[in-house]
Amino acid sequence: MRQTSDPAGTSHTPGLRAIPPGLHLVSTPIGAARDITLRALDVLAGADVLVAEDTRTLRHLMEIHGIPLAGRQVIAYHDHSGEGQMQRLLGLLAEGKSLAYASEAGTPLISDPGFELARAVAAAGLPMSAAPGPCAAICALTLSGLPSDRFLFAGFPPSAQGARRSFLEELAPVQATLIVYESPKRLAALLAEMATTLGGTRQAVVCRELTKRFEEVLRGRLADLADDVANREIKGEIVVLVDRAPPAEATEDSLRSALDVALQSMSVKDAATFVSQTLGVSRKIVYKIALDRSQG
Ligand code: SAM
């Protein structure tokens, strides 16, 4: 068996472990070919059948890592492959075969095919596992410098103008870091539309060509990024991230209703601290209202 080695000097012999029956969702690199896990290589080396969104891309990746096909079938599959192809794969799984599924790049199902297959496998009660790995959205989030405690990945914005506007309006109030994929051709327009709909002062980040030679991370306010990008030619693969909306301004009504909910399960002191932190209002003011409400 051929071996691949890594720069740390360790080596990996793929396929020594038997791959159990079932569907194995294999994440593949989003740029740098060496961003593949040892377990992903094991699965690719040992699965009975290889299934791929693009069979040429998968063969090439296996070649790079010295994994022989060894006469195994490589079947093309994406979400529009049709019922016949899906039944064929489910049939192989029902026979107890192990299938490795890889999309064109990154994590299958994430703006990539695989969802219909995974759903059918789950519904049929057949075994399924994932060999996790690269995903452009997560890679971009970790590099962005934006809050990572809560995020919303919204895939590609629709290209039709009306649908795109509704898509952005829906995202505008969300209290989470927003992550979208976009083509370089539409990036300038998207940033301008985001500046209008989400607000030009919101912090945003554009990640381009992650893990590749021309990797670039641009940070700034939405309005400034929209201007910068409008004045240069952008190429490559893109992830756009936007900081969450600033919290809505507290009114007397919102303060009272937040306190009423909090007072159901907390002491006056704790409710005042919680609401003052959540709504960004002085604790002294909130405590006074909480005391009145608890006594009334
Ligand atoms: N399944 C992939 C994943 O896990 O990220 C996403 C596949 S989707 C068809 C392709 C889009 O992902 C690209 O248009 C781009 O928005 C984003 N993307 C993929 N690779 C990237 C990279 N190296 N740098 C920046 N964005 C990337």
**CATH at residue 28:** 3.40.1010.10
Last-in-domain residue among 82, 105, 134: 134
Ligand 1 pocket, 57 CB below 6 A? no
For a mutational test of ligand 1's pocket, the pick from 54, 218, 237, 241, i.e. the residue with the most ligand atoms closer than 8 A to its C-beta, is 237
Last-in-domain residue among 86, 110, 134: 134
Q: Please report the atom of ligand 1 found closest to the CA of residue 103.
A: 1
Ligand 1 pocket, 212 CB below 6 A? yes
- Note whether 120 and 158 are same-domain residues: no
For a mutational test of ligand 1's pocket, the pick from 25, 26, 27, 111, i.e. the residue with the most ligand atoms closer than 8 A to its C-beta, is 111
- Note whether 37 and 121 are same-domain residues: yes
Which residues are registered as beta bridge partners of 177? 151
How does pLDDT run along the chain (296 residues), one tens digit per residue? 333 334 443 445 665 568 999 999 999 999 999 999 999 999 999 999 999 999 999 999 999 999 999 999 999 999 889 999 999 999 999 999 999 999 999 999 999 999 999 999 999 999 999 999 999 999 999 999 999 999 999 999 999 999 999 999 999 989 999 999 999 999 999 999 999 999 999 999 999 999 999 999 999 999 999 999 999 999 999 999 999 988 767 778 888 888 888 888 889 998 888 777 667 678 888 888 988 888 87
The total number of structural domains that make up the chain: 3
- 37 located within any domain: yes
Last-in-domain residue among 76, 100, 134: 134
- 35 located within any domain: yes
264 lies in which domain range?
A: 252-295
The torsion angle over the Cα atoms of residues 111, 116, 122 and 123, rounded to 10 degrees, is: 150
- Note whether 45 and 116 are same-domain residues: yes
- Note whether 90 and 154 are same-domain residues: no
User: Considering Cα of 37, then 42, then 44, then 45, what sign does the dihedral take?
Assistant: positive
Q: Give the Cα separation of 248 and 250 in Å (integer).
A: 6
Which residue blocks in 80-186 are alpha helix, DSSP H?
83-94, 115-123, 136-144, 161-171
